[in-house]
Amino acid sequence: MRDHGGDLDRAMREHGAGDWLDLSTGINPVPYPVPDLAPRAFTALPTRADMAALTDAARAAYGATKGTACTPLAGAQAAIQLVPRLTTPGTARVVTPTYNEHAAALRTQGWQVEEVGSLDALKGAALAVVVNPNNPDGRAWTPEALVDLATTTGLLVVDESFADPHPDLSLIPHLATLPGNTLVLRSFGKFYGLAGLRLGFALGAPDLIDGIAALAGPWNISGPAIATGTAALQDTDWHANTCARLLTDAARLDTLAATRGWQFVGGTPLFRTYDTGNAQAAQERLAHHHVWSRVFPYSESWLRLGLPGTEAQWLQLESALRG
């Protein structure tokens, strides 16, 4: 099932319109302040210099070293849609449970997908996918473990969409030392809170990145996304301050959930997943207070919450949890 968070339309359809607090995604609720953009960002096709500035900013922000190529895309989702077309379909393995678009996109392009529970089970696959840190349970693997895995698979895809607060987990600084079979995906919109901008990146060996860029085609990133992304990725102070705030807020959310008796399953500083005993009942209870959450078709008890952004939103969530 290709179900997703952010489905606030369903919440309003089932529970009525109103002042909803949407915690069904892992998007930073305090976004990067969009800079004033020059008119040409909207009126002119992006130039090679514009794209190079964005790519250089991404490589620096993500710790890429010499020999690692990078291409911007319209969100990590765009990369997920293109990955199945990089090589001849065969057997793919995906560590699950995880973001369901990976397996769905592969199957759409004729891949036989096996859902597995560990890194070891990925060995020998023609294409292997691991989300690090994982969504929704927060499992994480060291770069060293992924380096070892890369020598045992065909194409290895590591989705680091939630890795911005965890630079120690990133495989990107190690890519130049790996065989050219490893592709790392990064999401811009989640950590920077600008999901509507539709921006992400793929990093890897030059031949691999040339292939995905060719599939994406020219001008696949808008001028406003290029300008905003370049500025945000260069703002190291904002990055550091945001990481600190997210860690504090995640701990606050865990404390609130514990008062309800929920057990912490795992997560990242952008989202937390809890064992509620009955996820559907917990979602319904929160929805009565116009707080929307995320449940999963493969678990009767897991419920995921993103972070509130304002104090008023925190109070709304606290009230919903007491109700």
Q: Identify the domain boundary among 210, 234, 258.
A: 234
For residues 45-53, give the mean pLDDT.
97
State the pLDDT at residue 21. 97
Q: Identify the domain boundary among 181, 212, 234.
A: 234
Residues 185 and 70 in one domain: yes
Residues 228 and 79 in one domain: yes
Nearest to 145 by CA among 179, 111, 169, 110: 169
CATH of the domain at 57: 3.40.640.10
CATH of the domain at 305: 3.90.1150.10
Number of domains in the chain: 2
Residues 241 and 230 in one domain: no
Token pair of 61 as six digits = 């922000």
Task: Name the β-bridge partners of 292.
Answer: 22
Residues 20 and 160 in one domain: no
The H or E element spanning position 44 is none
Residue that is written with structure tokens 């969009």 in the block: 34
Q: Can you tell me the distance from the alpha carbon of 87 to that of 106, in angstroms, rounded to the nearest whole number?
A: 11
Q: What is the DSSP string of 49-95?
A: HHHHHHHHHHHHHHT--TT-EEEEESSHHHHHHHGGGSS---EEEEE
Residues 227 and 285 in one domain: no
pLDDT tens, residue by residue, 24-36: 999 999 999 999 9
298 Cβ contact list (under 8 Å, min separation 6): 97
pTM above 0.95, yes or no: yes
Residues 278 and 303 in one domain: yes
Residues 104 and 58 in one domain: yes
State the pLDDT at residue 323. 80
Q: Identify the domain boundary among 234, 254, 277.
A: 234
Report yes or no on 2 lying in a domain. no
Q: Can you tell me the distance from the alpha carbon of 70 to that of 60, in angstroms, rounded to the nearest whole number?
A: 11
Q: How confident is the model at residue 48 (pLDDT cuts 50, 70, 90)?
A: very high
Report yes or no on 3 lying in a domain. no
Handedness of CA 36, 40, 43, 46 (dihedral sign): negative
pLDDT at 109 over 90: yes
Residues 103 and 23 in one domain: no
CA distances from 273 to 161, 164, 302 (A): 17, 18, 7
Residues 80 and 65 in one domain: yes
Polymer length in residues for the chain: 323
Report yes or no on 53 lying in a domain. yes
pLDDT tens, residue by residue, 286-309: 999 999 999 999 999 999 999 999
Handedness of CA 311, 294, 171, 72 (dihedral sign): negative
Residues 126 and 216 in one domain: yes
Q: Which domain holds residue 309?
A: 8-31+237-321
State the pLDDT at residue 1. 55
Q: Can you tell me the distance from the alpha carbon of 72 to that of 58, in angstroms, rounded to the nearest whole number?
A: 9
Residues 193 and 107 in one domain: yes
pLDDT tens, residue by residue, 54-78: 999 999 999 999 999 999 999 999 9
Residues 47 and 13 in one domain: no
State the pLDDT at residue 3. 83
